[in-house]
Amino acid sequence: MNILMRLRQSLFLITILYLCTMLSGCIVEPQDVPTFPVGEVEGYVPLYASADDLSISFTSPQPVQQPGKIYTISGYLLINEKHRGIHVFNNADPSNPIPVGFLKMLGNTEMAIRGNVLYADHVTDLVALDIQDWNNITELSRLKQEHWNQEFPPVTGTYFACIDRSKGIVIGWALATLKNPKCYR
């Protein structure tokens, strides 16, 4: 019986060693983090807004500068302005859309519509807006989305300008040329 117990113990130890050896091959090595400073490189800079700028409002038409998603509904054409809001056009005549106004929603990149409700991201939240009357837009609900973190650029393996909280809240990121960046992800 003593021999049988030793055999079981040996078999158990061999199995544990085998599993440890096999699992150690599955460990992902961390990427090489560059040394700093690196000179001029392409990377991302944070886009900031102050807490006072975070209100949603419908303003006069603005020029389209960085168009994103496009949506049509009930004779209207909506064009996202990346990280700034949504342009609204009267699209009754698609060959000649007429600017109606601009829905200022900082951090906005996505939108969807169902019925008379516009769903869109606003900074780190998902908001539902009643758009029956563009001159009287009302917020129906807001869902906090803590996992929509704007603290890092949209891609990994890149340099970026470190966040400076004294400049406000990060609402997005823009590609730029950086000089001696101190952050990498």
Write out the DSSP string of 12-79: HHHHHHHHHHHHHTTPPPPPPPPPS---EEEEEEEEEE-GGGG--EEES-----SEEEEEEETTEEEE
Residue 69: per-residue pLDDT: 93
Number of domains in the chain: 1
Q: 17-43 in b/e burial notation, b at 16+ Cβ within 10 A?
A: eeeeeeeeeeeeeeeeeeeeeeeeeeb
pLDDT at 11: 62
Residues of the chain with confidence (pLDDT) below 70: 1-2, 4-37, 146-149
Look at residue 10 and tell me if it is in a domain: no
123 falls within a domain: yes
Per-residue pLDDT, 155: 85
* The pLDDT of residue 15: 62
- Asked, for residue 65, whether it belongs to a domain, the answer is yes
CA torsion sign for 97, 103, 104, 110 is: negative
Specify the pLDDT at position 53.
76
Q: Is residue 97 part of a domain?
A: yes
User: Do the domain assignments include residue 161?
Assistant: no
Q: Is residue 75 part of a domain?
A: yes
Asked if residue 151 is part of any domain, the answer here is: no
pTM: predicted TM-score of the whole model, two decimal places: 0.66
User: Would you say residue 34 lies in a domain?
Assistant: no
Q: Residue 76 belongs to what domain range?
A: 53-144
* CATH classification at residue 89: 2.40.10
pLDDT for position 31: 56
| Counts for the chain of helices (H) and strands (E), in that order | 1, 13
